[in-house]
Amino acid sequence: MVIHMINHATHHRGQVHCMLSQIPADLPPLDLIYFLRKKD
């Protein structure tokens, strides 16, 4: 069950990556570290 959940999450991250890479604009950084640094 755990392996299925990990693989399922990987599948959705791939889908999001595909959708975001099709946007013809520069996107803001989406990594958590950027969010945490900007929050302070």
* Tally of structural domains, the chain: 1
Q: What pLDDT, on a 0 to 100 scale, did the predictor assign at position 32? A: 84
1-40, pLDDT tens digit by residue? 777 767 888 888 889 889 989 999 988 887 888 888 876 5
pLDDT of 24 reads 94
pLDDT value of residue 39: 65
Domain span holding position 19: 2-39
pTM of the model: 0.51
Whether 27 and 20 have beta carbons less than 8 Å apart is answered as yes
Of 11, 15, 4, 13, the C-alpha closest to 31 is 13
